[in-house]
Amino acid sequence: MKKIFVVGIGPGGAAYMTPAAGAAIAESDVVVGYTLYVELVRELCAGKLVESTPMKKETDRCRIALEHARRGRTVAFVCSGDAGVYGMAGVMCEVAENDPDIEIVTVPGITAACSGAAVLGAPLIHDFAVISLSDLLTPWETIQKRLLLAAEADFVICLYNPKSMKRRDHLDRAVDYIAESRSRDTPCGYVKNIGREGEYSRLCTLEELKNNDDIDMFTTVFVGNSSTRVINGRLVTPRGYQI
Are both 90 and 120 inside the same structural domain?
no
Predicted pLDDT of residue 168? 84
Over 90: is that where the pLDDT of 183 sits? Answer: yes
| Residue 152 covered by a domain | yes
Over 90: is that where the pLDDT of 243 sits? Answer: no
Q: How far is CA 130 from CA 7, 26, 162, 172, 221, in A?
A: 21, 31, 12, 17, 10
How many domains does the chain divide into?
Answer: 2
Question: Model-level pTM?
Answer: 0.93
3-36 core/surface letters (b: 16 or more CB in 10 A; e: else): bbbbbbbbbbbeebbbeebbebbeebbbbbbbee
| Residue 57 covered by a domain | yes
Output the average pLDDT for the chain: 95
Lowest mean pLDDT among 13-17, 122-126, 159-163: 13-17
Final residue belonging to a domain, choices 51, 82, 107: 107
Element (H, E) at 106: strand 103-107
CATH (domain of 91): 3.40.1010.10
Render pLDDT for 48-74 as a digit per residue (tens, 0 to 9). 999 998 877 899 999 999 999 999 999
CA distance 217 to 211: 15
Question: What residue numbers bound the domain in which 82 lies?
Answer: 2-107
Over 90: is that where the pLDDT of 151 sits? Answer: yes
Final residue belonging to a domain, choices 107, 122, 155: 107
Predicted pLDDT of residue 15? 86
Which one has a higher pLDDT value, 11 or 94?
A: 94
Final residue belonging to a domain, choices 80, 107, 134: 107
Other C-beta atoms closer than 10 Å to the C-beta of 185 total 10
Are both 6 and 102 inside the same structural domain?
yes
Task: Return phi, psi of residue 218, to 5°.
Answer: -95, 20
CATH (domain of 229): 3.30.950.10
Render pLDDT for 186-213 as a digit per residue (tens, 0 to 9). 999 999 999 888 999 999 999 999 999 9
Q: Are strands 229-231 and 187-192 parallel, antiparallel or unpaired?
A: unpaired
Helices assigned H by DSSP within the chain: 19-27, 35-40, 58-70, 89-95, 112-120, 140-152, 170-178
Predicted pLDDT of residue 103? 97
Residue 172 confidence class, pLDDT cut points 50, 70, 90? very high
Predicted pLDDT of residue 55? 79
Say which amino acid occupies 52. Answer: S
Are both 100 and 191 inside the same structural domain?
no
